[in-house]
């Protein structure tokens, strides 16, 4: 990050070379590419070793945030030329699957959502004690990467001027943390908390009241995204504030405690101040009765995708 595009392009070529030189797949049964950047290497390895190939696209790969039009054009050309050499493709939600099926008719694809492991029990959160938050205050929380396109700058401004009865906590790390901390300097109701292991996250989140996810949807990948933090908020028993996007809206419509906000300061402040302690208390039974998607169920889709790739690959190389 921060290097020139030319340097990064040459670095990618060096990485390709190192992967091909160092990879040993004598005892492998399946090659998996976890990004478009890894796909050329994976295609070559699969062909060299006559092994099945699975393309696990973790987002709408050619429509990533921050990419210029020339980079997108190159990415689409690469993906279009290589995706049909894959024996199966995994997509992360229905909207992105539909986009891929429309862009590349005839590919064999399935959906495996990025959902968390449901904890067997939720312990006692230390969130309020660690940050010194008053027990009666409503606490709004964001967890994940602290960077651009996450709506965090707008959220900080939405909390500016609100009283000590509402606090905003950002849990995570990222290259944008310093800029966000500078923006929040002097605000006593905006806080940062270090990232915690995944196994501890839901317990920590349970000390808050409302989870927030409002992505900037300029990039199509973000517009179609379904962040796993929504499932984590649900597992922690929180109300939620959600932004735009068909997958996010679909989840919010099914969830018993949600409010919508556009990515602007006034709309976010309106959604934040709309929640009350009485409303959240009234909705707690409905939230507790809701069963969010969990990896214990979703893992079977992944295993089925592996089987599909192996079956198709064996047929191709027979």
> What 8-state DSSP symbol labels residue 188?
T
pLDDT at 160: 96
Q: What residues have CB less than 8 Å from 251, skipping those under 6 apart?
A: 226, 230, 242
Condensed to tens digits (0 to 9), the pLDDT of residues 279-300 reads 999 999 999 999 988 899 999 9
Q: What is the mean pLDDT of the chain?
A: 93
> pLDDT for 122-180, tens place per residue?
999 999 999 999 999 999 999 999 987 899 999 999 999 898 999 999 999 998 999 99
> What is the per-residue pLDDT for 120?
83
* pLDDT recorded at residue 149: 83
Low-confidence ranges of the chain (pLDDT < 70): 1
Angle between helices 198-205 and 228-235 (to 10 degrees): 60
Contacts of 4 (CB under 8 A, 6+ apart): none
**SS3 assignment, position 256:** coil
Q: Record the pTM.
A: 0.89
Q: Using CB atoms within 10 Å of the CB of residue 215, give its burial: 0 to 12 exposed, 13 to 18 middle, 19+ buried.
A: buried
Give the strand pairing for 53-56 and 190-193: unpaired
| Whole-number pLDDT of residue 7 | 86
Three-class SS of 77-138: HHHHHHHHHCCEEEECCHHHHHHHHHHCCCCCEEECCCCCCCCCCCCCCCHHHHHCCCCCCE
Fill in the DSSP letter of residue 53: E
Cα 303 to the center of its chain, rounded Å: 21
Distances (CA, A) of 38 to 16, 43, 91, 112, 304: 8, 9, 16, 19, 22
Give the Cα separation of 267 and 183 in Å (integer). Answer: 19
CB 118: neighbour CB atoms within 10 A? Answer: 16
Within 10 A of 284 (CB to CB), how many other CB atoms are there? Answer: 13
d(CA 40, CA 136): 54
What pLDDT is stored for residue 192 in this prediction?
A: 97
Does residue 225 contact residue 246 with C-beta atoms inside 8 Å?
Answer: no
């Amino acid at each position: 990050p921060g290097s020139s595009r030319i340097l990064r392009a040459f670095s990618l070529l060096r990485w390709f070379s190192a992967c091909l030189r160092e990879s040993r797949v004598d005892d492998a049964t399946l090659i998996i590419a976890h990004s478009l950047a890894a796909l050329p290497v994976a295609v070559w390895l699969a062909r060299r070793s006559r092994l099945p190939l699975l393309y696990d696209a973790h987002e709408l790969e050619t429509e990533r945030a921050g990419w210029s039009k020339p980079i997108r054009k190159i990415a689409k050309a690469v993906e279009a030329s290589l995706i049909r050499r894959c024996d199966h493709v995994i997509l992360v939600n229905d909207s992105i699957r539909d986009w891929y099926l429309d862009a590349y008719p005839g590919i064999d694809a399935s959906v495996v959502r990025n959902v968390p492991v449901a904890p067997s029990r939720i312990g006692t959160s230390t969130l309020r004690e660690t940050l010194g938050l008053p027990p009666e205050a409503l606490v709004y929380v964001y967890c994940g990467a602290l960077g651009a396109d996450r709506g965090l700058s707008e959220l900080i401004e939405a909390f500016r001027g609100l009283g000590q009865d509402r606090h905003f906590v950002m849990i995570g790390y990222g290259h944008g943390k310093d800029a966000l901390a500078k923006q929040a300097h002097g605000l006593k109701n905006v806080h940062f908390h270090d990232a915690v292991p995944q196994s501890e996250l839901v317990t920590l989140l349970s000390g808050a009241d409302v989870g927030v996810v409002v992505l900037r949807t300029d990039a199509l990948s973000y517009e179609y995204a379904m962040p796993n933090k929504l499932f984590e908020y649900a597992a922690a028993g929180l109300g939620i504030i959600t932004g735009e996007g068909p997958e996010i809206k679909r989840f919010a419509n099914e969830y018993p405690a949600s409010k919508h906000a556009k990515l602007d300061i006034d709309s976010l402040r309106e959604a934040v101040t709309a929640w009350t302690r009485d409303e959240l208390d009234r909705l707690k039974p409905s939230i507790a009765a809701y069963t969010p998607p969990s990896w214990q169920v979703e893992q079977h889709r992944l295993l089925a995708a592996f089987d599909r790739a192996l079956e198709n690959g064996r047929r191709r190389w027979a």
